Amino acid sequence: MTRTRSPLLVWALAALAAVIALTVLMNVGPSSARTGTSTVSVPAGAATEALPLAASAPVGIEIPAIGVTRDSVMKLGYNEDLSLQVPTDAATVGWFSRGAAPGTNGPAVFASHVNYKGVEGGFAHLDALTAGDEILVHRADGSAVVFVVDRVEQASKQAFPTAQVYGPTGDAQIRLITCGGDFDASRRSYEDNVIVFGHAERAWR
Amino acid sequence: MVDRLCHHLKDTHHHHHRGAWYSRDLDCGDFDTQDAAQAVYEADRSDPNNLDGDNDGVACEDNPDGYRTVVADYDGYPQGGVATGDSLPGGASGGAAALAGLGVASLTGATRRRDEDEHEELV
């Protein structure tokens, strides 16, 4: 009985493993030759949650399309000049903890450097995201939210779209912010911000 | 040049899910001062919260001077652009050879801090 069934099972598992490996390989790293969008699958056994969720802080973020995986998220507030604080190292991804939590109505705002002290930043390849790419945010309460990229904008810091980025929304949304545009060496600052806008598509825990 | 060594922000307002955070772990950003972190560390040198990530007997030496001045009594939108970059890819900028060296120096620092982050914040 098992003799006839187990080879089938082995082949099925092997095929599944191959598909998973292929998916992972295709999603790793900045995908310059990428066709189509990068999506996230609901893990087996997870229970779907209705959006919006109750507030819970992000504890991890995955952006497969640009090879970003973080199992910690730094909380950001305001600098003394009331600008958004930024992570104090290159790789860390921060979340504006005075704004919306991911999965609640409103924009959950994340920021990471494009390049910091010569080190490639967490959002170095943010501008490679395209509409339809998915972002997975893990929350402190054990739930996870998938956001879908709507658009990627580049805006001058002098004309930062504050209301569009931080203003209230009728659904759960996400913003990913880094720097872009020309680099002003004398001020060690980029002229622009790259901003990804997205909305929550589904959640589970 | 100011090098903010902090990598944690003191949590000043997360009352709505404070329990969820605090039941997990304490990390450096939860303390106002290095002294406060050191006291918790001294109370249990096995360091269950991993406040001394580099095992040098000093807890949270990176505790946020910069973030201690966080503005807590403002609830509006952050103002202006976001300073998420201070160098070009490759670490060189505008013929500043010194900056390239700085990039290498900070690479080790950043890596160390990232390791600490993982230890402290992996929840």
Q: Look at residue B37 in the predicted model and tell me its pLDDT.
A: 79
Closest CA to A147 of A53, A69, A35, A40: A40
Mean pLDDT of all residues in B54-81:
68
Question: Is B15's Cβ below 8 Å from some Cβ in A?
Answer: no
CATH number of the domain where residue A148 is located:
2.40.260.10
Q: Do B83 and A86 touch (CB under 8 A)?
A: yes
Mean pLDDT of all residues in B10-35:
53
Q: Do A118 and B76 touch (CB under 8 A)?
A: no
Question: Is B101's Cβ below 8 Å from some Cβ in A?
Answer: no
Domain that holds residue A104: 46-204
Concatenated DSSP letters of A19-72: HHHHHHHHHSS--TT--S----PPPTTPPEEPSSPPP--EEEEEEGGGTEEES-
Our CA-based measurement puts residue B45 at a distance from the nearest CA of chain A, in whole angstroms, of 24
**Banded model confidence at residue B50, pLDDT cuts 50, 70, 90:** confident
Could you tell me if A87 and A115 are in contact, meaning their C-beta atoms sit under 8 angstroms apart? no
Top-confidence residue, A15 or A100: A100
Residue spans of the domains in chain B: they are: 15-72+91-121
User: Residue A126's Cα: distance from chain center in Å?
Assistant: 9
Assigned domain for A104 exists: yes
Number of domains in chain A: 1
Q: Look at residue B99 in the predicted model and tell me its pLDDT.
A: 39
Tell me how far apart the alpha carbons of residues A129 and A153 are, in angstroms, rounded to a whole number.
10
User: Residue A80's Cα: distance from chain center in Å?
Assistant: 27
pTM comes to 0.63
Closest CA to B72 of B121, B20, B21, B32: B32
Residues of A in contact with B8 (CB under 8 A): 74-75
Our CA-based measurement puts residue A10 at a distance from the nearest CA of chain B, in whole angstroms, of 35
Q: Look at residue B38 in the predicted model and tell me its pLDDT.
A: 78
Question: Is B87's Cβ below 8 Å from some Cβ in A?
Answer: yes
Q: Do B5 and A185 touch (CB under 8 A)?
A: no
Q: What percent of chain A has pLDDT over 70?
A: 83
Q: What is the pLDDT of residues A58-90, one digit of tens each?
A: 999 999 999 999 999 988 888 888 999 999 889
Residues of B in contact with A107 (CB under 8 A): none
Q: Which of A84, A180, A189 sits opposite B78 (nearest CB)?
A: A84
Could you tell me if A166 and A12 are in contact, meaning their C-beta atoms sit under 8 angstroms apart? no
